[in-house]
């Protein structure tokens, strides 16, 4: 079963400097029918104006995974981590017992466009941690590139989360096609972050998402003239 | 019960007081409180930037990242935490407006059953003056278990502040539920 969440049906927040689309309930946007999917609790599509951002604020007991599509995001936190995150990088912050951080557009002239997801951890009161990994753009072209996986997963160039969930990115040209097999009992969320793709034959455009349950095989293909980019979450 | 809110206000030019304020905030978060971090404004920022080249980048960043505390922040908080720099005074130009706000809200009964605390710096006399000013505004003072001006001690203090604020808040709810009416404000030291 595949349930589509269309881009235009998402919640929208407009703070002037921030244009945000919420796939699930977040902040002042509340929809009891869209409180998350499995362990995926937040999926925000944010565009932050040059020089603007989120001042210091706290998180607790959440795995926060950030993926920049365009521009650069400056991160500072109470663990003394100070980084700039750009495209083809993945940032994973485990808030655990508590982290205070700020996120600002690192540029005074260009906007930053990012996807931020919050995944509920399998346990509370974990030690806070920060990870950031860069990868070559080719690694996601025409294939699913693993970005985040549970601790204990073998592999280089990935970040680790305290949850039985995996996050992939794939950039698919119009003729590209990838397959992902879901083991019995597992679920998936697909989020189109750029362009157009099809998921098991259903057309999805930028901003669209899809909840997948009781399916064995996901076939994602680039669609339209330019294809698209998709984030895929494999969830317990 | 509504979430516990801890307001941490600091003033810093170099970032040292900011670090202690952040550490205290992390402690409050560990104790499952919501936090609001606020920085007092630079009345003389142009001069500061011209004089303090070593800290110019930090100063610019803090000015961008933080907003100043408002009356709504104070009214909405269960704990009022202050992180001053050494040798500073609550009557100084920098802090006087904020403490005048606290005094007026305290006189109006808006700080009843709220705690106040200072994040320690190296200047014990300054800390004492700030603590007295919070006390004079009607806040119940929470003293740290560890008086050292380290981030670790600030985090532990943040936990203690949130725990005491929760305890006081819950006792206030029990008091109101008992039908005895509004509290009269506690002026003890916890």
Chain B closest CA to A77's CA: distance in Å? 9
Assess contact for A47 and A37: CB atoms under 8 A. Answer: no
Global confidence as pTM: 0.91
Q: How much is the pLDDT for B186?
A: 43
Q: How does pLDDT run across B55-85, given as a tens digit for each residue?
A: 888 999 999 999 999 999 999 999 999 999 9
Query: Dihedral angle at the C-alpha atoms of A169, A174, A177, A178, nearest 10 degrees?
Result: 0
Can you list the positions of beta strands (E) in B43-133?
79-83, 115-118
Mean pLDDT, rounded, for B41-54: 66
DSSP string, A131-151: EEEE--GGGGBTSPEEEEEET
Mean pLDDT, rounded, for A220-224: 93
Listed range (B7-16, B43-52, B115-124, B165-174) with the worst mean pLDDT: B43-52
Assess contact for A75 and B57: CB atoms under 8 A. Answer: no
Whether A97 sits inside 8 A of B29 (CB atoms) is yes
Tell whether the model's pLDDT for residue A56 goes beyond 70. Answer: yes
Mean pLDDT, rounded, for A12-38: 97
Tell whether the model's pLDDT for residue B46 goes beyond 70. Answer: no
Chain B closest CA to A96's CA: distance in Å? 9
Assess contact for A163 and A122: CB atoms under 8 A. Answer: yes
Whether A58 sits inside 8 A of B23 (CB atoms) is no
SS3 B96: helix
Percent helix / strand / coil, chain A, rounded to 5: 5, 55, 40
Report d(CA B132, CA B146) in Å as an integer. Answer: 19
CA B76-B81-B82 angle, 5° bins: 125
Report d(CA B79, CA B6) in Å as an integer. Answer: 5
Burial A89-114 (b: 16+ CB within 10 A, else e): bbbbbbbbbbbbbbbbbbbeeebbbb
Report d(CA A55, CA B145) in Å as an integer. Answer: 30
Mean pLDDT, rounded, for A65-81: 97
Q: DSSP state, B142?
A: -
Judging contacts by C-beta atoms under 8 Å, the chain A residues touching residue B29 are 58-60, 97-100
Q: Which two tokens stand for residue A107?
A: 């540029």
| B16 CB-near residues (< 8 Å, 6+ apart) | B85
Instruction: Kindly list the structural domains of chain B, giving each domain's residue range(s) and its CATH number in brackets, ordered by start.
Output: 5-188 (3.40.50.360)
Report d(CA A69, CA A44) in Å as an integer. Answer: 13
């Amino acid at each position: 079963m595949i349930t589509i969440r269309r881009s235009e049906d998402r919640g929208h927040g407009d703070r002037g400097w921030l244009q945000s689309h919420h796939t699930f309930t977040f902040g002042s946007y509340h929809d009891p029918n869209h409180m998350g999917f499995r362990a995926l609790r937040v999926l925000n599509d944010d565009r932050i104006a040059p020089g603007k951002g989120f001042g210091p604020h706290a998180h607790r007991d959440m795995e926060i995974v950030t993926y920049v599509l365009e521009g650069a995001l400056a991160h500072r936190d109470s663990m003394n981590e100070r980084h700039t995150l750009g495209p083809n990088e993945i940032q994973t912050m485990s808030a655990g017992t508590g982290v205070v951080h700020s996120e600002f557009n690192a540029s005074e002239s260009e906007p930053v466009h990012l996807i931020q997801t919050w995944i509920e951890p399998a346990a509370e009161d974990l030690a806070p941690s920060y990870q950031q990994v860069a990868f070559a753009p080719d690694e996601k072209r025409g294939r699913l590139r693993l970005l985040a996986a549970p601790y204990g997963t073998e592999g280089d160039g990935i970040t680790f989360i305290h949850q039985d969930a995996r996050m992939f990115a794939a950039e698919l040209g119009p003729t590209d096609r990838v397959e992902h097999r879901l083991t019995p009992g597992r679920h998936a969320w697909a989020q189109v972050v750029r362009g157009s793709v099809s998921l098991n034959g259903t057309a999805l455009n930028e901003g669209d998402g899809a909840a997948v349950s009781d399916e064995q095989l996901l076939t994602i293909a680039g669609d339209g003239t330019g294809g698209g980019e998709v984030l895929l979450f494999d969830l317990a | 019960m509504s979430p516990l809110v801890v307001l941490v206000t600091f003033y810093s030019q170099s970032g040292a007081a900011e670090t202690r304020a952040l550490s205290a905030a992390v402690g409050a978060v560990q104790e499952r409180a919501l936090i609001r971090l606020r920085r007092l404004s630079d009345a003389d920022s142009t001069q500061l930037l011209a004089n303090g080249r070593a800290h110019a980048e930090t100063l610019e960043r803090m000015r961008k990242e933080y907003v100043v505390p408002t009356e709504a922040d104070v009214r909405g908080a269960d704990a009022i935490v202050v992180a001053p720099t050494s040798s500073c005074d609550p009557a100084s130009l920098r802090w006087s407006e904020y403490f005048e706000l606290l005094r007026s809200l305290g006189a109006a009964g808006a700080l009843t059953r709220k705690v106040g605390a200072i994040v320690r710096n190296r200047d014990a006399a300054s800390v004492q003056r700030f603590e007295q000013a919070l006390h004079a505004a009607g806040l119940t003072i929470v003293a740290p278990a560890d008086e050292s001006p380290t981030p670790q001690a600030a985090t532990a203090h943040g936990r203690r502040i949130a725990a005491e604020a929760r305890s006081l808040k819950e006792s206030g709810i029990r008091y109101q539920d008992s039908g005895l009416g509004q509290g009269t404000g506690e002026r003890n030291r916890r």
